[in-house]
Amino acid sequence: MLLRTQPRLRESEVTDKSLWLDRRRFLALGAAAASAWPALAGAGPLPGLIRSPYRIDEAATPLKDVTHYNNFYEFGTDKSDPAQMAPSFFGAVPKPWMVTVSGECAKPGTVSYDDLIKPHKLEERIYRLRCVEAWSMVIPWVGVPLADVLKRFEPNSKAKYVEFTTLVDPERFPGQRRGTLDWPYVEGLRLDEAMHPLTLLAVGLYGEELLPQNGAPIRLVVPWKYGFKSIKSIVGIRFGETPARTTWMKSAPREYGFYANVNPQVDHPRWSQGKERRIGEFLKRDTLAFNGYADQVAGLYSGMDLAVNY
């Protein structure tokens, strides 16, 4: 008989006690919490949607999958954690929600969620979302072009990059009680990427307000990049001369670069990026360069080595 004197799991793989207790708290809510989910999330229809020309003609991923299979480490590292944890901890999205805009601009200030959702300003766009783990979705996002927002603050000649920061609130985000990542979550774009008409500041999906697990109330969507670039629950935007040292670059620089353009020719160190599985489908499909948006964005990277600038 083989007797093990050492555990199979490393200490780093053991669930943190506080998160385990948080999960038990959620499960204790039972069916009552599940039935109250829409009310807790504060979701509702968004007014005045405009059908955007920036949309693909592909079948959308079912809403259940879009809202129950998520990466959002502020709620936990499993794909199911955000949908399980968000209703209990995030509850109704705190309002008014303000995003502070600062740095190299003539008119630093704030932009509010209420301002973004005014009627006749919101566009509905059907975009592909491709994640670095080789899975993808097609999502009807609702939002406003990020460029329309950034122009209000008049970035100056020193503004070459845009940095985004997520809310820090361990009471609402139980994952922030752990050292999984260096909080707050930070992401960044070059200014021309941020100003590209495909880049969306999203406030909803499927015609409804975002649910917490999808990045409520305001998130970024950059459809030609891997999903971790599309930062959620944004509270800060800063114009800068140099690129932000983003969260995943700090955590695993060999695996996650600043640009993160979808590139089937450049594999992740631990898996191929040449194929992807669309959520809801069994068979894999070929990954498209720039996630299928090469005609619109490839010119942004003319002359660049996209294997080096990954």
Q: Which helix (H) or strand (E) holds 141?
A: strand 135-145
CA distance 197 to 193: 9
* pTM, two decimal places: 0.86
The per-residue b/e assignment along 5-44, b for 16 or more CB within 10 angstroms, e otherwise, is eeeeeeeeeeeeeebeebbeebeeeeeeeeeebeebbbbe
Classify residue 214: in a domain, yes or no.
yes
Classify residue 20: in a domain, yes or no.
no
Classify residue 194: in a domain, yes or no.
yes
What whole-number percentage of the chain has pLDDT above 70?
A: 85
Average pLDDT for 236-248: 97
**β-strands 98-103, 234-240: how paired?**
parallel
Strand-by-strand arrangement of the 98-103 sheet:
109-112, 98-103, 234-240, 161-166, 186-190
Domain that holds residue 46: 41-301
Cβ atoms 142, 44 nearer than 8 A: no
Measuring CA to CA, how many Å separate 197 from each of 12, 55, 137, 167, 271? 42, 12, 21, 25, 31
Measured over the CA atoms of residue 199, residue 205, residue 211 and residue 213, the dihedral's sign is negative
Two structure tokens written together for 224: 């030609």
Please state the φ and ψ torsions of residue 144, each to the nearest 5 degrees. Answer: -125, 145
Cis preceding linkage at 96, omega within 30: yes
Amino acid at 58: E
Helix axes 81-89, 17-35, angle to 10 degrees: 80
Residue 251: CB atoms within 10 A of its CB come to 13
Q: What does the pLDDT read at residue 93?
A: 72
Classify residue 237: in a domain, yes or no.
yes
Q: For residue range 274-293, what is the model confidence (pLDDT) as tens digits?
A: 999 999 999 999 999 999 99
Classify residue 80: in a domain, yes or no.
yes
In this prediction, residue 242 has a pLDDT band, given cuts at 50, 70 and 90, of very high
Q: How many domains does the chain have?
A: 1
Q: What does the pLDDT read at residue 247?
A: 98
Q: For residue range 183-204, what is the model confidence (pLDDT) as tens digits?
A: 999 999 999 999 999 999 999 9
Q: Give me the half-sphere count of Cα atoms (radius 13 Å) on the Cβ side of residue 32.
A: 2
Strands in 206-247 per DSSP E: 208-209, 219-221, 234-240
Say which CATH number the domain at 174 has: 3.90.420.10
Cβ atoms 266, 273 nearer than 8 A: yes
Classify residue 107: in a domain, yes or no.
yes
Two structure tokens written together for 36: 């109250």
Q: Across-strand partners of 190? A: 161
pLDDT over 50 (residue 246): yes
Classify residue 28: in a domain, yes or no.
no
Residue with token string 């122009």: 151
Q: For residue range 12-33, what is the model confidence (pLDDT) as tens digits?
A: 333 444 443 444 433 333 333 3
